[in-house]
Amino acid sequence: MSALSNLKILDFSTLLPGPFGTLILADLGAQILRVEAPDRLDLTRELGEKDGNASYVHRYLNRSKKSIALDLKNSEAITVVKKLIAEYDVVIEQFRPGVMAKLGLSYDALKEINPKLVYCSLTGYGQTGAYKDRAGHDNNYLALSGIQDYSRRKNQAPVPAGIQIADVAGGSMHLVAGLLAAVIQRLETGVGQYIDISITDAAFTLNAMSAASYLGSNKETGAEEELLNGQQFYDYYETSDSRYFSIGGLEPKFRLGLCEALEIPHLTGMAMSQEIAEQQAFKEELKNIIKRKSFGYWQVFFQKLDLCVEPVLTLAEACSHQQIQDRNMVVNVGGIPQVASAINMSESKASYLFKGCDIGANNDILMNEFSFSQEEFNQLNIKGVFGTKKQEKL
């Protein structure tokens, strides 16, 4: 039995933040039913290389999730959703504020049907505030949160991150935490609740150490002005063949070990110094040393040394790395290698049922789980509830 096998979630979200959050929940066994617009394609279905008619990105983000196609502009579709709420008592939506209310699917409307409903709205800026109706993407949220300004080299422009930090570490993770907290509270009270998550709020909390320091001291930070953002030797170092190594041994034993391994005992005092100028001078010495040898040389050199020094791998190298393989972080789902769940539990294993499916692949769930008759199902189809309106046969 999976940890969340009794949790049923109606998922209206698209793109990355919501789907990544529900992927975590699905891997833990939650039953996810995606409500998809039949005439408005989720862009992740077209993003990157494809497996048949859908991208590998979609196949991954939406694995183990069923799909029902509903035209929410059709009043009959709204009636269907309201029937689903009796069974799927958790809702996740990612529309701009007010959209679900206009459709007649607000929290206030649906909790009248099921008071146990847990309803989570995930948006860029939340349901309140001056920016609530404003469009945005990951880099905008990182920009407004203050993260991007001090996460760059001095006198250089911010660099687009290779992953969507605000969307995932901010939005998705806070979605999962907030939703599960509400479900646990419901076990005690028997009552659901509404959850408002702003990706910008969530990204702002990722300033864990820097914001705490600034708010307490009123001392501003900036690019390469902190221990962990490039001011000192905790950094990335270029090799002779233009690859990179990360050196992060902050603790004294690692600094001493690094000096010993590199045979630079004369730099030990500099390495151990608390003076910023001394640390920066040590960093320059390390740059020169690492630059003299190739990536392959340093891989062999540091492999058996426990000094917080690791190679900067390509994604392909990471996928085949021994540690990733040892931890079974690549699994096969429906004939496709995919990233596994990072949550390992002793009493409930991760659940990988099937790869992301086609839009409306599970429309028949209405008959199989909700007692719609074949005739009722056919009428919904004729009325265009599942998409393009059908002409009734004479």
Task: For 8-56, write each residue's pLDDT tens digit.
Answer: 999 999 999 999 999 999 999 999 999 999 988 899 999 999 999 999 9
CA distance linking residue 290 with residue 262, whole number of Å: 10
What is the residue extent of each domain of the chain? 8-206+328-383, 235-317
CA distance linking residue 272 with residue 274, whole number of Å: 7
104-129: average pLDDT: 98
pLDDT at site 388: 74
pLDDT at site 394: 24
Q: Where are the beta strands (DSSP E) in 129-220?
A: 193-198
Give the CATH number of domain 8-206+328-383; options: 1.20.140.10, 3.30.1280.10, 3.40.50.620, 3.40.50.10540.
3.40.50.10540
Spell out the CATH class of 235-317.
alpha beta
* Residue 15: other Cβ atoms inside 10 A: 16
Annotated active-site residue in 11, 138, 167, 201: 167
pTM recorded for the entire structure: 0.95
Residue count (the chain) = 394
Task: For 2-12, write each residue's pLDDT tens digit.
Answer: 999 999 999 99
CB burial class (10 A; 0-12, 13-18, 19+) of residue 89?
A: buried
Given a contact cutoff of 8 angstroms between Cβ atoms, the answer to whether 28 and 348 are in contact is yes
- The DSSP output letter for 103 is T
Task: For 134-157, write each residue's pLDDT tens digit.
Answer: 999 999 999 999 999 999 999 999
Task: For 192-204, write each residue's pLDDT tens digit.
Answer: 999 999 999 999 9
326 is catalytic: no
Indicate if the pLDDT at residue 392 is higher than 70: no
363-391: average pLDDT: 90
Task: For 234-280, write each residue's pLDDT tens digit.
Answer: 999 999 999 999 999 999 999 999 999 999 999 999 999 999 999 99
pLDDT at site 285: 97
pLDDT band of residue 390 (cuts 50, 70, 90) is very low
Indicate if the pLDDT at residue 391 is higher than 80: no
Q: Do domains 8-206+328-383 and 235-317 have the same CATH topology?
A: no
Side by side, the strands of the sheet bearing 309-311 are 235-238, 244-247, 309-311
Residues 6+ apart with CB under 8 A from 40: none
For the chain, the straight-line distance linking the first and the last C-alpha, in angstroms and rounded, comes to 49
Indicate if the pLDDT at residue 313 is higher than 70: yes
CA distance linking residue 307 with residue 180, whole number of Å: 38
Average pLDDT of every residue of the chain: 96
